Amino acid sequence: MEILKQKVIPAKKVRQFYKRFANGEQNIELYPVFGIIEQDRRYYWQSIRVFNLIPTFIHLYGKDLTEEQLYGRHGLVSLLEPFQRDYNRIMNLHREHIEFATYGYMAVEDGSVDADELCEEGVMAGKIILYRQGARTPEVKKDTLNTKHYTESAEFIRSQMEEIALAFEKANKGVKKQ
């Protein structure tokens, strides 16, 4: 394990990793021994979409930067990477919340329908739900779409990314290109 900690990743491999990350391959990781590895998507929200903001920040703030300053070990993309991953997470959780909320859920009186069957199969379009005569009619309830916390969090992360990109551009404006 000590060997893994001491191994230095070549600069060329680091630049290659950050270029791929900036181009939208955001389920990859960089390891000292194995190189660039695509990660398994452990959660549902990881397998949905990538909301890649990095090309926008490169276009706006990285015009005068060298390749090393953009994609290097301490470059702009390396600084934005954790924020981009968090932004993807929040936006996909937001999307998942909206999808779940629009499906709704069924409110039924106990004994009026086969609740076990309803739990296993759920409610799908065109499904006939039989309920006991005289019982209350099953109702589809909708979740209230309170997604403000998702949008506020995503906006905060986006603004943090913009501040980082602007500060990085200012700090590297006078640095000579090699």
Can you give the residue range of the structural domain that contains 122? Answer: 105-141
Same domain, 45 and 86: yes
Start-to-end C-alpha separation, the chain: 37
- Residue 40 identity: D
77-123 per-position pLDDT tens digit: 999 999 999 999 999 888 888 777 666 566 666 667 777 776 676 66
Same domain, 116 and 84: no
Q: Does 177 fall in a domain?
A: no
24 close to 50: Cβ distance less than 8 angstroms: yes
Same domain, 84 and 168: yes
Same domain, 84 and 48: yes
Q: What is the mean pLDDT of residues 142-161?
A: 87
Same domain, 8 and 48: yes
The CA-atom distances, in angstroms, between 125 and each of 87, 98, 122, 128, 129 are 33, 18, 10, 9, 11
Q: How many domains does the chain have?
A: 2
Name the pTM for this structure: 0.71
Q: Does 28 fall in a domain?
A: yes
